[in-house]
Chain A
Amino acid sequence: MSERTIDRVATATPPKVARKIKGLSDRAIAWIFVAPTIFLLLAINIFPLIWTIQLSFTDFKANRIGREVKNIGLRNYERILTDNDIWLNMQATAHFLFWTIFFQVLIGFTLAWLINKKFKGNDLWTTIIVLPMMLSPAVVGNFWKFLYQPQIGLFNYIVAFFSGKDPSSFQMLGQVNLAPWSIVIVDTWMWTPFVMLICLAGLRSIPDYIYEAAEIDRASKLRQFFTITIPMVLPFLMLAVLFRGIENFKMFDLVVQLTGGGPGSTTELTSINLKREAFEKWRTGYASAYAIILFVTVFGLASIYVKALNKVKER
């Protein structure tokens, strides 16, 4: 990283040009240009983050204005980390994360690979496939609830049509064994295109001559796929996984509209649980500690992952 800074110093505006510039100095302009952004981020990102950390050591409740706020040290953290229900929420989140990523990578890569065959009209169809990821998850999630209605919903009807089951015999959103899959299906429908696009960029970045060389070496197509295509696309794929991982760790809107966390607590992802604590129970201090734990978790996991990613890239 620091090398790049040095590069920049080296390529900065040559002194003889700089001397002739009228008006404000570069340094002044740089700060004028950057300052508003930094200020905004300080005010709306950093200051709140620090405040959250501070609140996480108290028993503050935002709906109880007159109540005395006590400093309770690490009690909130202790409570959260020993709470069995929160571990169940974490498990639900992990299930959701793992399977959405699994299906999105599988389908997304396959689609990208097929699209890269450059059949006629592939541009148009790519655009159509991309549509779901551009839409509002809350609005779409709410409508999927309708598609999942037993008996009257399109989804149940189609499944019934192909499987011969009674369309009112299963409830995607209401059954403990199906609800976790119902949210995986919608998320996969929505975000597979993202993984596909990144993979497509990866596939297109592979120069033709590598395949040509392999062909001269008489490597089979299958062998080419595993020795050229996969390794070359892997860094891209890992990036896509990183982004989907971070996004789905934060998942709220889609699932809240679909299941609201139910039945029972089977699809209560950490974000939904956090919302209940913070904005329904109004246990602000407790929820702040919860938020910090989530942030540290995602930041930690992402950092480890990025290290792995860089290793892959270097190869």
Chain B
Amino acid sequence: MSYKKLVSASAIALCTSSITSLAQADDLTLCWAAWDPANALVELSKEFEAESGHTMNFEFVPWPNFADRMLNELNSGGKLCDLLIGDSQWIGGGAENGHYVKLNDFFDANGISMDDFAPATVYAYSTWPKGTPNYYALPAMGDANGWFYRKDWFAREDIRAAFLEATGRELGEPQSQKELLEIAQFFQGREIDGKKVYGAAIFTERGSEGITMGVTGALYPWGFKYENTPGSYDMEGAVNSPEAVEALEFYKEFYETATPPGYTNSYMGESLDAFKSGQVAMAMNWFAFFPGLYADPNTGGDKIDFFVNPPQNQAGSTLGGQGISVVSYSDKQDAALEYIQWFAQPEVQAKWWELGGYSAHNSVLNDPGFVDSQPFAGDFLEAMGAVQDFWQEPAYAELLLAMQKRIHDYVVADQGTAQEALDLLIEDWTEVFEDEGKL
């Protein structure tokens, strides 16, 4: 009797005391987008469950709804997610609105050093204000926008000969944006194995972030800048520079002359579909999908190869990827931190890469065998060396939606000129920063 009482008494003590919660087995929920790497993370997390005794649940939201759903969840103070692998642009809002737990003290106490992670990823995924040593996330998944193509088509003699005749150049991985377009235009409408194929699948999605992520792939190599001086919000002449106008016109030309019909609102899924169904010679997408593409029984293996977003005036790739954060509304923050601590270990990071996740840990990236470990590993390193991200301001959603509208209006709906689109974008952005009190 008294033994039972004792047990229940201590059980109550365990439940009510926050200090002892380490010993308690929790049900943790991790929220992320529903895509290939998420499945790899489920696999990886089984080890954590075995080691810690906690149970991991996952809430994976399809990309087109991911930002909407998760930001809504954070803004309504929801307790759904204990851990959130949130998009890089959310960090400003996550930090300033108190959605994310600040991790500095935790890192210090547990010997986790941000110097162990690739600087570009720490800067992009973890810090707010940008570049300061205030960390709100641990880099979880490095990512950038890259390209993949039909290696088997590129290798065919008849196609190579036709390309040489048409352009006076050997067919191969493009070295510049303009070459990229030339190759895409070459394939557009060509008949291969009795099937009409098209140049390339690019991002044109209107609703969330698609077309912005696509068009920046052209803007950055042309030398596009958000501000004349970083931190000044001085956009006139930067956002609408002649280079930016040229890059935007380039993207529209690409859309009009080298993409399959009906790809007016396409993003990651549509790009994968177009490639896997053999419709296109090339496609842009996030590196995150490359392991899955390489493993694809129909269009993977020796039929596919990858290249980094080609330079034009300079090298530049659009940043993707996410850091993992602890949600401040969670009741199980200790267990969530435990997960991060576990995840940051070099062995776990190595396994993460092996399973198809893009580790940002230096021990993985600097490993001599890394570049040859996968056909896209070298491209990934190269891309991460020249990545740029969208605004990460707390008002990022307003900034992003303005850009989505202006770019889509111009590129897909064919309204106005590139110059007008960018001028209007500056007006929209100026209004946002004025509301923010930053201008």
Contact = CB atoms under 8 A, between A and B. Distances in A.
Tell whether any CB of A sits under 8 Å from a CB of B in the complex: yes
A136 to B, nearest CB: 17
Contact of A263 (B261, B397, B412): B412
Given A63-B97, A264-B413, A171 B68 contact: no
Given A151-B262, A276-B401, A280-B397, A263 B71 contact: no
B51 interface: no
Contacts of B408: 262-265
B98 interface: yes
B382 interface: no
Contacts, number: 87
B413 A263 contact: yes
Contacts of B415: 176, 264
Contact of A150 (B261, B394, B409, B435): B261
A64 B97 contact: yes
Contacts of A265: 405, 408-409, 413
A270 B173 CA distance: 45
A246 interface: no
Interface in B48-90: 68, 71-72, 74-75
Interface residues of B, number: 29
A282 B206 contact: no
Contacts of A260: 206-207, 265
A66 B413 contact: no
Given A264-B409, A279-B68, A281-B398, A66 B264 contact: no
A166 B43 CA distance: 46
B262 A168 contact: yes
Interface string A186-222: 0000000000000000000000000000000000000
Given A280-B397, A281-B397, A281-B398, A64 B264 contact: no
Interface string B80-119: 0000000000000100111000000000000000000000
B67 to A, nearest CB: 8
B264 A173 contact: yes
Interface centre among A175, A266, A281 (most CB of B within 10 A): A281
B414 interface: yes
A62 interface: yes
B398 A263 contact: no
B398 A171 contact: no
B72 A262 contact: no
Interface string A130-168: 000000000000000000011100000000000000001
Contacts of A149: 262
B191 to A, nearest CB: 14
Contacts of A279: 68, 72
A264 B406 CA distance: 8
Contact of B394 (A59, A64, A173, A176): A64
Interface in B349-404: 394, 397-398, 401
A265 B74 CA distance: 28
B262 A174 contact: yes
A168 B261 contact: yes
Interface string A260-300: 11111110000000001001111100000000000000000
Interface string A220-249: 000000000000000000000000000000
Nearest to B406: A264
A5 interface: no
B262 A66 contact: no
B264 A262 contact: yes
B206 A62 contact: no
Contact of A151 (B98, B261, B398, B412): B261
B214 to A, nearest CB: 14
Contacts of B93: 63-64
A254 to B, nearest CB: 15
A280 B264 CA distance: 22
Ranked 8 nearest A-B pairs via Cβ: A264-B413, A174-B264, A150-B262, A264-B409, A262-B206, A281-B398, A260-B207, A63-B75
16 contacts: A66-B98, A150-B262, A168-B261, A174-B263, A174-B412, A175-B264, A176-B414, A260-B206, A264-B413, A265-B405, A265-B413, A266-B413, A276-B401, A279-B68, A281-B397, A283-B398
Interface of B: 68, 71-72, 74-75, 93, 96-98, 206-207, 261-265, 394, 397-398, 401, 405, 408-410, 412-415, 435
Given A62-B75, A169-B261, A174-B412, 13 more contacts: A63-B97, A85-B405, A150-B262, A171-B261, A171-B262, A175-B264, A261-B206, A262-B412, A263-B413, A265-B405, A279-B68, A282-B75, A283-B398
Interface of A: 59, 62-66, 85, 149-151, 168-169, 171, 173-176, 259-266, 276, 279-283
